[in-house]
Amino acid sequence: MLSRTADHLYWMSRNIERAENIARFLDVANRLSLSGGGASDSWQPPLTIAGSAQAYAERHGEVAAVNVITWAVLDPANPSSIYSCLRTGRENAHAVRSVIPTELWEIINDIWLEVKRIDGARLREQGLTGFCEWVKDRSHTVRGATHSTMLRDEAFWFVRLGTFLERADNTARLLGVRSKGMTAESRVVPASDQLHWAAVLKSVSAYKSYRALTREDVSPAGVAEMLIMNADMPRSLHACLDSVSTILDRISPQAECTRLAGATHARLHYGRLEELLADGLDTFVSQFILGNNALGTEIHKDFLMS
């Protein structure tokens, strides 16, 4: 396959996955802000997670609900707004429309045509929750079409690679919020913190699963265990690295990026929570994000357009 094609496929799925995750974070922030406790600071995390807190501050100053929503959903100047991600995703899909299944292209094009029509007034009318659900729903549809219509050739694997690399990054960033001072021992926390960690679970649709797996109260250590170590949880770091590592093994077993991904995967697969969080959850998260970025760079060097 053309290197440029691989590059477009990879960024197509990365951007759609990112749009979905931003919708997830916004949705939870919104629910938290409505539930009273800790309401005032619930709009900071979506900015921190998206890495756009500084750019936001330069544009809007103080963190206020309506500004954060405008910035994170609609602002074309914000490269990680949902609008921008869906536009970039669609541009990449457009460049490879002859390679991807027609249905997949039509779905992605359709999402873009829809989102292009949305402005502040329409968003208010639909409601943030309704809009976020729509984004998640469309992203699910894209993944479903990918899964059920694409030939299992290299093109498919590059699409999946983008999805899982982006998802790993997003889950790690999500864990990073309020992670300072948290370790594998943090099993009991104040009620307001508990609310936060429950929101973290909900944003990755893991709250029900958490409840199904354990009778323990929601705690930072419990959430970290689930979202870092549990390979059965589809948005956990372990699950993401399972996929990334398997895909790279398929594409090119000897490549440097395959070795890097394998090493990270082994730590998650064979490590213990106490070891991983020995220097604190925040340190683990920032190291993971750095490692994930390095992996992305290596993938570019090995296969994509440099």
Partner 1 sequence: MAFDEMKASDGAVRAPYRSYENWLLSAAPDLLPRKHEQADELFRRIGITFNVYGDQDGTERLIPFDPIPRILTAKEWSRVHDGCIQRVKALNAFIHDIYHGQEILKAGIIPREQVLANDSYRPEMHGVNVARDVYVQIAGVDVVRTGADEFYVLEDNLRTPSGVSYMLEDRAMMMRLFPDLFARHRVKPVDHYPDLLLKALRSVAPPACDGEPCVVVLTPGYYNSAYFEHAFLAEQMGVELVEGRDLFVDDGLVWMRTTRGPKRVDVIYRRIDDDFLDPLAFRPDSTLGVAGLLSAYAKGGVTLANAIGTGVADDKSTYIHVPEMIEFYLGEKPILPNVPTWRLEREDDRKYVLEHLAELVVKEVHGSGGYGMLVGPTSTKEQIETFRAKILTNPGNYIAQPTLALSTCPTLVDKGIAPRHVDLRPFVLSGETTTLVPGGLTRVALKEGSLVVNSSQGGGTKDTWVLEDDQC
Q: Is 118 a binder of partner 1 (CB under 8 A)? A: no
User: Among 44, 109, 194, 286, which residue interacts with partner 1 (rule: CB under 8 A)?
Assistant: 109
Return the residues of window 150-189 that contact partner 1 according to CB under 8 A: 154, 158
- Name which of 154 and 249 has its Cβ closer to partner 1: 154
- Name which of 3 and 287 has its Cβ closer to partner 1: 3
Question: CA–CA separation, 306 vs 304, rounded Å?
Answer: 6
Closest of 98, 113, 92, 126 to residue 9, by C-alpha: 92
Q: Which of 44-52, 97-105, 256-264, 278-286 is the region at the interface with partner 1 (rule: CB under 8 A)?
A: 97-105
Question: How many CB atoms are located within 10 Å of the residue 212 CB?
Answer: 8
Query: Amino acid identity of 28?
Result: V
Q: Which of 13-21, 30-38, 89-97, 128-136 is the region at the interface with partner 1 (rule: CB under 8 A)?
A: 89-97
Closest of 275, 49, 280 to residue 186, by C-alpha: 280
- Name which of 154 and 193 has its Cβ closer to partner 1: 154
User: Among 31, 60, 94, 269, which residue interacts with partner 1 (rule: CB under 8 A)?
Assistant: 94
Retrieve residue 249's tokens.
Answer: 């093994």
Total interface residues for partner 1 by CB under 8 A:
23
Q: Is 256 a binder of partner 1 (CB under 8 A)? A: no
User: Among 57, 66, 77, 113, which residue interacts with partner 1 (rule: CB under 8 A)?
Assistant: 113
Q: Which of 107-115, 124-132, 205-213, 266-274 is the region at the interface with partner 1 (rule: CB under 8 A)?
A: 107-115
User: Among 69, 99, 239, 276, which residue interacts with partner 1 (rule: CB under 8 A)?
Assistant: 99
- Which residues lie below 8 Å from residue 93, measured CB to CB, with a gap of 6+? 8, 12, 100, 104, 105, 108, 109
Closest approach of partner 1 to the CB of residue 71, in Å: 24
DSSP state of 236: S
- Name which of 109 and 141 has its Cβ closer to partner 1: 109
Question: CA–CA separation, 242 vs 131, rounded Å?
Answer: 31
Q: Is 251 a binder of partner 1 (CB under 8 A)? A: yes
- Name which of 95 and 231 has its Cβ closer to partner 1: 95
Side-chain half-sphere exposure of 165, counting CA atoms within 13 A: 32
User: Among 105, 164, 197, 210, which residue interacts with partner 1 (rule: CB under 8 A)?
Assistant: 105
> Which phi and psi angles does 284 have, rounded to 5°?
-55, -45
Residue 75 exposed, middle or buried by CB count within 10 Å (0-12, 13-18, 19+): buried
CB 230 within 8 A of CB 238: yes
Question: How many CB atoms are located within 10 Å of the residue 221 CB?
Answer: 21
User: Among 48, 91, 242, 280, which residue interacts with partner 1 (rule: CB under 8 A)?
Assistant: 91
CB 292 within 8 A of CB 165: yes
Point out which residues bind partner 1 (CB under 8 A). 1-6, 91, 94-95, 97-99, 102, 105-106, 109-110, 113, 154, 158, 251, 303, 305
